[in-house]
Amino acid sequence: CPDLNGELHEFGSHWRNADCYDCFCSGNGINCCSSFPTPVGYDEEKCVKIFSKETCAYKVVEKDDHSKECRVHEWVG
């Protein structure tokens, strides 16, 4: 199975791509899904979500002070 970057993967193989999606190669092609939940229940006027490719996770922090985390009420994924 060739991925979007042209790299070939064997049938039945699993991998995590550079965008933190878990992928699987089958006879039907490549299927990928997110390996991380996305924050949706937080104060969007005061806070911002930041994604880290190193940890494959979102962090929600205050827009004016990224050292202060915001409370998240709901995550989807």
% of the chain surpassing 70 pLDDT = 100
Domain 1-35 matches domain 38-76 at the CATH topology level? no
The neighbouring-strand residues paired with 26 are: 29
CATH class of 1-35: mainly beta
Domain boundaries along the sequence of the chain: 1-35, 38-76
Written out in words, the top-level CATH class of the domain with range 38-76 is mainly beta
pLDDT for 44: 97
Per residue in 24-57, pLDDT tens?
999 889 999 999 999 999 999 999 999 999 999 9
37 contact partners, CB below 8 Å, separation of at least 6: 58, 75, 76, 77
